Amino acid sequence: MQHKHPVFRSLTDPLLFLKVPYQFFILSCIVGVVCIVILNFRLMAIGLMLVLHIIGIIMTRKDPRWFEIVRLRFVRNEMDFSSKGRRYLA
């Protein structure tokens, strides 16, 4: 059953900025700034940011939480407080 009430959708959908997840938008801006400042590729940076943004929009239409899934798949949690990680706290 899919809920169409706007309050329900706004409370359950992830935070989007310009139709992409907020964290993905920040990441694409960082990539663009690195290309502009460090590599001095202004035109390439604008094109790269635009291509990344379009890919992000397409992926968000398929699954609004795709970036969280990708992030959890490739980024490991360094602050592991499980029984295996407790030896570092003592």
In order, the DSSP letters of the chain are -----HHHHHHHSPPEETTEEHHHHHHHHHHHHHHHHTS--HHHHHHHHHHHHHHHHHHHHH-TTHHHHHHHHH---S---STTTGGGT-
Q: Report the pLDDT value the prediction gives residue 1, as an integer from 0 to 100.
A: 52
| pLDDT tens digits for range 21-65 | 998 999 888 888 888 888 787 888 888 889 999 999 999 999 888
Counting residues of the chain whose pLDDT is more than 90, the rounded percentage is: 16
Confidence band of 20 (pLDDT split at 50, 70, 90): very high
Cβ neighbours of 67 (radius 10 Å)? 20
Higher-pLDDT residue of 58 and 2 is 58
Cβ neighbours of 27 (radius 10 Å)? 16
For the chain, the structural domain boundaries read 12-88
CA–CA dist 46, 73 (Å, integer):
28
